[in-house]
Amino acid sequence: MEKKLVVFDSNAVLYRSFFALPELTTKEGEKIQAVYGFFRVCLKILKELKPHFLIFCFDFPAKTFRHERLKEYKSTREKIPSDLKSQIEKIKKVLLENSFFVLEKEGFEADDLIASIVKSETVKNLEKIIVTKDRDLFQLIEDKTKVYFLGTKNKDSILFDKEKIEKEYGIEPSFFADFKSLMGDVSDNIKGVEKIGKKTAVNLVKKIGSLEEFFKNEDFWKLEEKERLILFKNKDLILKNLSLIKLEPLLKIDLSLKESEINSIKIEAFKNIFIKLGFKSLLKDLDSLHYP
């Protein structure tokens, strides 16, 4: 059986938990609903996917190289609530204290770390599953890499593979960044090409594939005149968007599979965390897990 590595887009999981769950506090009045939700997702993943290795990636809490490329990057987002910020730090502290594999890097987002991990030679023979709520990570899907896209109260979580992306979006995952570069991304304050919606973006990507290669090789013949004019008129915008959205293995990460291995010691660590935080309902679920 092929061994599995699960990589958490930790900030995305914490955001989802913070806003989706009702307020939960400790006896001392400390808010911990995001922490509870995070560990509930961890348990769900352990039960459903039965990973052999687990890595938790975090956004560095400061500006990244993307802010240098686009001053307005994410500028329309509301500030992180202080209650959520404290819970993100708490999760990191708790995971590190219990010897879980935690990664963050100054100047980079969790997405960049995840891209560098799944493209690493160290894990090339493993099945890799990314846990997230961020569609940008769809571009990393390959034969051995999938995305576990977290659901909502009324929508189940979905495990996306290459076939699922092609069925849902009509394009290969490797061109997902090109698709997003045409559409833009409102949540990151990345402006899309005017008059290009989802359907047009899909059709263009189907015809030309890589936008970078299209502009480089000037493959005019692939498009109708109207389409060519739109793309070349917006060339600078599209290429800038691509430089923000496309995920590359930019970092050389010292990956320790031994450190990220899930075994009985790590399950015991989860147990100690749940006892300390008073998560009794999670303790019951933990008892059903069996790791050597």
* CATH classification at residue 96: 3.40.50.1010
Q: Are residues 89 and 156 in the same domain?
A: yes
Give the chain's radius of gyration (CA, Å): 20
What domain range is 231 assigned to?
173-245
pTM for the full predicted model: 0.94
* C-beta of residue 237 within 8 angstroms of C-beta of residue 245: no
Is residue 218 domain-resident?
A: yes
Is residue 292 domain-resident?
A: no
Q: Are residues 140 and 266 in the same domain?
A: yes
Q: Is 292 helix (H, G, I), strand (E, B) or coil?
A: coil
Cβ atoms within 10 Å, residue 168? 11
Q: Is 147 helix (H, G, I), strand (E, B) or coil?
A: strand
Spatial strand order of the sheet with 158-160 comes to 101-103, 53-57, 4-9, 127-132, 145-149, 158-160
Is residue 150 domain-resident?
A: yes
pLDDT recorded at residue 21: 93
Q: Are residues 75 and 131 in the same domain?
A: yes
HEC profile for 18-76? HHHCCCCECCCCCECHHHHHHHHHHHHHHHHHCCCEEEEECCCCCCCHHHHHCCCCCCC
Q: Are residues 145 and 50 in the same domain?
A: yes
What is the spatial distance between Cα 226 and Cα 235, in angstroms, rounded to a whole number?
A: 14
Is residue 163 domain-resident?
A: yes
Q: Are residues 157 and 193 in the same domain?
A: no
* C-beta of residue 205 within 8 angstroms of C-beta of residue 182: yes
What is the spatial distance between Cα 181 and Cα 211, in angstroms, rounded to a whole number?
A: 9
Q: Are residues 19 and 121 in the same domain?
A: yes
* C-beta of residue 224 within 8 angstroms of C-beta of residue 194: no
pLDDT in tens, the chain (292 residues): 789 999 999 999 999 999 999 999 988 889 999 999 999 999 999 999 999 999 999 999 888 888 888 878 787 777 889 999 999 999 999 999 999 999 999 999 999 999 999 999 999 999 999 999 999 999 999 999 999 999 987 789 999 999 999 999 999 999 999 999 999 998 888 999 998 999 999 999 999 999 999 998 877 777 888 998 999 999 999 999 999 999 998 888 888 899 999 999 999 999 999 999 999 999 988 888 888 7
Is residue 220 domain-resident?
A: yes
Q: Are residues 95 and 231 in the same domain?
A: no
**CATH number of 201's domain:** 1.10.150.20
